[in-house]
Amino acid sequence: MTWRKTGVSAATVMPGTTREIMVDGTAVLLARVGPLLFAVDAICPHLGGLLSDGTLEGRRLTCPVHSAVFDVGTGAVLVDPFGFEPPRGMLGPVASYPTRVEGGLVEVDLP
């Protein structure tokens, strides 16, 4: 694993919120669901929507551009932009990355 420091205090990502950060040139979206902190690509694979402008309800992250819905814990597509649920639809997942908190700061494992 290659843990990358983000410089972000875990305490600043409140439950039910997201925060876009750059980690070694990669746009990453941190999402807090209850006590859990997740990290996924910050850009929707459909048309490049900024997922930080989307809505987070539980683990469901909705893209603000065409309403695709992703699971922030796994990156899986829950609903594609046309309203299809897997296995139907053509949209791929967003990448998800393991997170950990060291000394109060978020670290992300990027490939």
pTM score of the predicted model: 0.93
Residues of the chain with pLDDT > 70, as a percent, come to 100
List C-alpha distances in Å: 67 to 3, 4, 56, 73: 31, 30, 12, 18
35-54 per-residue burial string, b: 16 or more CB within 10 A, e: under 16: eebbbbbbbbbbeebebbeb
Domain count, the chain: 1
Its domain, for residue 41, covers 3-109
Q: How much is the pLDDT for 90?
A: 81
How does pLDDT run across 19-69, given as a tens digit for each residue? 999 999 999 999 999 999 999 999 998 888 999 999 999 999 999 999 999
Which CATH number fits the domain that encloses residue 28? 2.102.10.10
